[in-house]
Amino acid sequence: MKTPPLLRPGDEVILLSPASHPKSDQWRQGVEVLESWGLKVRLAPHALSHYFGFGGSDEERLSDFQLALDDPAIKAIFPIRGGYGSSRILDQLNFETFIKQPKWIIGFSDITAILNHVANLGIASIHGPMPHNFCQVGGDEALEMLRNLLFEGKTHIEIEADSDNRLGKAESILVGGNLSLIVHLIGSKSLPDFRGKILLLEDVGENLYHIDRMVLQLKRAGILDQLAGLIVGGFSDCKEAGLSVGKNVNQIMLEHTFGSQYPIAFEFPSGHIAQNFPLVFGKNIKLLVNADKVQLTD
């Protein structure tokens, strides 16, 4: 796996909208944050375009992302937000220049499709906050972690243990992201090889029976049997519906991973939550889950 170069003050980064369009001006606060880090911020030509719910037509979003991949002056790519639409342009993108001169791509949610696609190409990326939600109340620590990760390249996360955790340790490459998107990628060339990997899963606004169905799909596809470890992030606003499965998210995960021996860390601060700790996908990471704490270090 190739890891993009660390950022330095004076580097130029680009904001674009490969999925949905920005719903507010919150992203402008994100620009101020990036500039306070000493970065030069460029707005892609169609970054604020609207095409129904998308951040521009497929052609406009494709053009912006291709520009970001190819321009040697750009050192990092920041989707403004997620939503839906990234996978609509993936097969038309040309990654030849990007593979030769990799740069950081940072995002989560719908950007999961892009992060896993580039992991398949052998390039590391960052699952973490985007400019639209840089300044969420309660997200200061995650934002500072992102700055440290981009400029210094170190991961050291330590949280309290959850009572549902499965104890153990693992060292491997971290991949994954939004559960709905991972299931969406099954059968496509954007789905990474999960064998021996540590898988991160998170989601938002899904009924619990939808969660059960998607995790069951990962199990039936053989993905859950092949892992070195599992990190379960935030499952925000995921509730029982009229069709009840009688289990919460943790119980669903434990049922469908029953019989496996790898460590599982629940309630990890990642996903559609204010404390969305940034994590490098495609880089070797150490996961330790013991009775008192969970550690994730490089």
187-209 pLDDT tens trace? 999 999 999 999 999 999 999 99
Q: Give the pLDDT confidence score for residue 83 in this predicted structure.
A: 97
Q: In a 3-state reduction of DSSP, which class is residue 31?
A: helix
Do residues 284 and 173 touch, judged by C-beta distance below 8 A? yes
Order of all β-strands in the sheet with 293-297: 156-160, 293-297, 284-289, 168-178, 198-204, 229-236, 264-265
Q: In the annotation, is 109 catalytic?
A: yes
Q: Which residue has the tokens 């990642």?
A: 270
Per the confidence metrics, is the pTM higher than 0.95? yes
Percentage of residues of the chain with pLDDT beyond 70: 100
Q: In the annotation, is 32 catalytic?
A: no
Distance CA(103)–CA(14), nearest Å, equals: 11
Do residues 238 and 214 touch, judged by C-beta distance below 8 A? no
Beta carbons within 8 Å of 266's beta carbon, 6+ residues apart: 162, 164, 165, 232, 250, 253
Mean pLDDT score across all residues of the chain: 97
**86, 109, 125, 190: which is the annotated catalytic residue?**
109
User: Quick one: which of 112, 117, 111 has its CA closest to 15?
Assistant: 111
Tens of pLDDT, residue by residue over 163-185, are: 999 999 999 999 999 999 999 99
Alpha helices, DSSP H, located in 243-282 = 249-256
Q: Give the pLDDT confidence score for residue 31 in this predicted structure.
A: 97
Angle, to 10 degrees, between the axis of helix 249-256 and the axis of helix 208-220? Answer: 20
**117, 127, 132, 272: which is the annotated catalytic residue?**
272
Q: Inform me whether the pLDDT recorded for 78 exceeds 90.
A: yes
Tens of pLDDT, residue by residue over 7-38, are: 999 999 999 999 999 989 999 999 999 999 99
26, two tokens: 């919150």
What mean pLDDT is predicted for residues 123-151? 96
**202, 210, 256, 267: which is the annotated catalytic residue?**
202
Q: How far is CA 99 from the centre of its chain?
A: 19
Q: Give the pLDDT confidence score for residue 242 in this predicted structure.
A: 85
Distances (CA, A) of 129 to 111, 145, 218, 259: 11, 10, 25, 34
Residue 229 half-sphere exposure toward CB, CA atoms < 13 A: 26
Do residues 85 and 61 touch, judged by C-beta distance below 8 A? yes
Residues paired with 106 in a beta bridge: 126
pLDDT grade for 227, boundaries at 50, 70 and 90: very high
Q: In a 3-state reduction of DSSP, which class is residue 283?
A: coil
Task: State the sign of the Cα–Cα–Cα–Cα dihedral 245, 193, 89, 14.
Answer: positive
Tens of pLDDT, residue by residue over 50-71, are: 999 999 999 999 999 999 999 9
Do residues 76 and 106 touch, judged by C-beta distance below 8 A? yes
Tens of pLDDT, residue by residue over 257-293, are: 999 999 999 999 999 999 999 999 999 999 999 999 9
Q: Which helix (H) or strand (E) holds 229?
A: strand 229-236
Q: Inform me whether the pLDDT recorded for 107 exceeds 90.
A: yes
Q: Give the pLDDT confidence score for residue 241 in this predicted structure.
A: 87
pLDDT grade for 96, boundaries at 50, 70 and 90: very high
Q: In the annotation, is 156 catalytic?
A: no
